[in-house]
Structure 1
């Protein structure tokens, strides 16, 4: 009954999505960028810029969450809702010298950008190399 399960849903517990392994930290204040720079001196920091109205962005963030395999103590991961916090996104572009795109992943270590990617290239970034 595969097609009917796709249309009407399935009661099979295996269809339930796994909880995200990413411990997202909401990025909602410009002052957090100073915190990110300081944190990055002892632990790498990733910033995921996400557009909540974009299907591609939703697909990429879902893939990112599924593939993420670092422990919480290895990297801090910030989530930026671009639509609600556009000024923060603009400051990230200026401060970390990365042209704004969406979705976008920026990795900061020792206060500087060490990697960045957008769209489907995000899931090609091997985060473990920065730990």
Structure 2
């Protein structure tokens, strides 16, 4: 899991066409903490290309993602990018290792 801090880093990742998950995470919210733990569990199951941002540190990036991809900001929020676009997203308690695995299976060839 790699932290992304800047719009430039994120845009380069999107432009690469890489399939990846992005988690918007708040360090002060227990629900966000639970979502982060599920994201880490998903990673521990051998999944790669997982990125996250901390909303408190990267508000501009969080807003950029919401505006560019028309996905209303929520925290926690997991977003799957496939072919440089949003293929799936979920928030709050819908972020589980199981839901992330299902999204990957349904959207990634």
Q: Specify the alignment match of 1:26 in structure 2.
A: 3
Stretches of structure 2 that go unaligned for 5 or more consecutive residues are: none
Please identify runs of 4+ aligned residues in structure 1 that moved more than 3 A. Answer: none
Distance 2:47 2:10 in 1: 22
Question: TM-score, with normalisation over the residues of structure 2?
Answer: 0.84
* Whole-angstrom CA distance in 2 between matches of 1:117 and 1:100: 11
Q: State the TM-score, normalizing by the size of structure 1.
A: 0.71
Contact kept in structure 1, 2:38 and 2:95, CA below 8 Å: no
Root-mean-square deviation (CA, aligned residues, Å) is: 1.5
Where does residue 56 of structure 1 map in the other structure?
Answer: 31
Long gaps (5+) in structure 1: 1-23
Alignment deviations for residues 43-100 of structure 1 (CA, whole Å, 9 cap, x no partner): 311110000011111112112222443443xxx1111000011011000001121000
Aligned residues: 103
Does residue 108 (structure 1) correspond to residue 85 (structure 2)? The answer is: no
